[in-house]
Amino acid sequence: LKPLKTPHMVALTTVAGSVAAAAGALLVAWPIAIWWEVRKLEKPKYVVTRTLKTRQTPFFGTTAEIRSYAPFLTAEVTLEGCDMNMAMGSGFRQVAGFIFGKNKAVDREGAEKVSMTSPVAMEVVHNEKIGMTAPVMSQQDGGGVYKVAFTMPSKYTKDTLPRPDNPNVKIIEVPSRTMAVLTWNGGVPREETTASKTQELRALLAAAGVKSTGSVHVWGYHPPWALPIQRINEILLEVESK
């Protein structure tokens, strides 16, 4: 004999089914919402001049290319004596505070909210682990120098952009430049991943006979809570233009 289902059991089954359906819908809708919001954000303009590598899989892929970037503005903070994760957290909060209203508008009284753009950029000015070309070291030095920056909407010039209240936030005019870029999908980059991807990009450049100069740049296009499968990360090295 089959056990009888009481009204209470039926109600619990219905509720459980509804919760499961709602959770499933959320799991589908959440990544789509993040993808759509990031897709709408303004990004630095560039032209691809050369492809060094393309490897695509159903979910994760890696590409390496040479890009010619147009000039753009950034709001940036320099941080010293910390590791990469701490620098990103502190730098993000300070620059986000600037664009969300901790500033003075140039054409009226009060503050002006600046539209969010993508990516969030980090320049590794000094980090023995990331800067090295030998195999990755296991110890963190914890004493790096980093610059964390947001690119500014193209409608602004340095004269029309609001003035930061925080003296640590500097407005920088980035000139046109040629960058080698390694792009991959994955979680928020840490020192180990950044060092490994930088080494991979340098090896590709060496094989192609292209010389790089300057610091390592790490760009992230998605928020930290985005799924690793949809997060786009990039390592950039400036190269000699031809």
| Range(s) of the domain holding residue 148 | 44-239
pLDDT tens track for 31-67 = 576 655 767 789 999 999 999 977 765 556 678 999 9
182 & 229 share domain: yes
7 & 29 share domain: yes
218 & 204 share domain: yes
pLDDT tens track for 154-189 = 999 999 999 999 999 999 999 999 999 999 998 888
pLDDT tens track for 104-149 = 999 999 999 999 999 999 999 865 555 543 333 323 344 688 999 9
208 & 88 share domain: yes
56 & 25 share domain: no
The pLDDT of 195-205, averaged and rounded, is 94
120 & 173 share domain: yes
pTM of the model: 0.79
32 & 60 share domain: no
Q: Tokens 């503050």 correspond to what residue? A: 111
77 & 194 share domain: yes
124 & 92 share domain: yes
Count up the domains in the chain and report the number: 2
Residue 102 sits in a domain whose CATH number is 3.20.80.10
pLDDT tens track for 4-28 = 566 665 555 655 555 555 555 545 5
